[in-house]
Amino acid sequence: MKTLNQKNQQIEKPSLEYYLNLQYPVTLYPDPEGGYVAQIKDLPGCLTQGETLEETMANLNEARELWIETAHEAGDCIPLPSTNDSYSGKLLLRMPKSLHRRLAEASEREGVSLNQYIVSLLSAISR
């Protein structure tokens, strides 16, 4: 699809595939009633939930694809992912004590620090 710029010249709009391949930051947090909630703040209204981290991330990936496909078909503006310029790589995370215990025990079994273990879990589900 082509759009007109300010000089009335046609410019190429990025393809649907281009937008589907972008990596958007994800916000993930435990739901007080159980399970998890995840959202992509760059795509307004793109959020979901699930019982497990894996289910939640699978649901979010589907929601992201549907959000982008719908916006692209309608000719709406699709925001680009926010940049990492304001992110330090440090995060303070509050979680239920039971989850903290399970993660600590699992990291001990794997022989890695709790931080390394959590980063490896997040890396695996954010692909």
Residue 54 has pLDDT above 60, yes or no: yes
Is the sign of the CA dihedral 74, 19, 82, 43 positive or negative? positive
Place of tokens 């595939």: 17
The CATH architecture to which 15-82 belongs is 2-Layer Sandwich (3.30)
- pLDDT tens-digit series, residues 71-116: 999 999 999 998 766 667 777 788 899 999 999 999 999 888 898 8
Residues in the chain: 127
Domain positions in the chain: 15-82, 89-127
pLDDT in tens, 27-51: 988 888 988 999 999 999 999 999 9
pTM, rounded to two decimals: 0.60
**CA atoms of 54 and 40, how far apart (whole Å):** 16
Q: Is residue 6's pLDDT more than 60?
A: no
- 3 state DSSP class of 39: strand
> Would you state the structure tokens that stand for residue 36, as one six-digit string?
């998890």
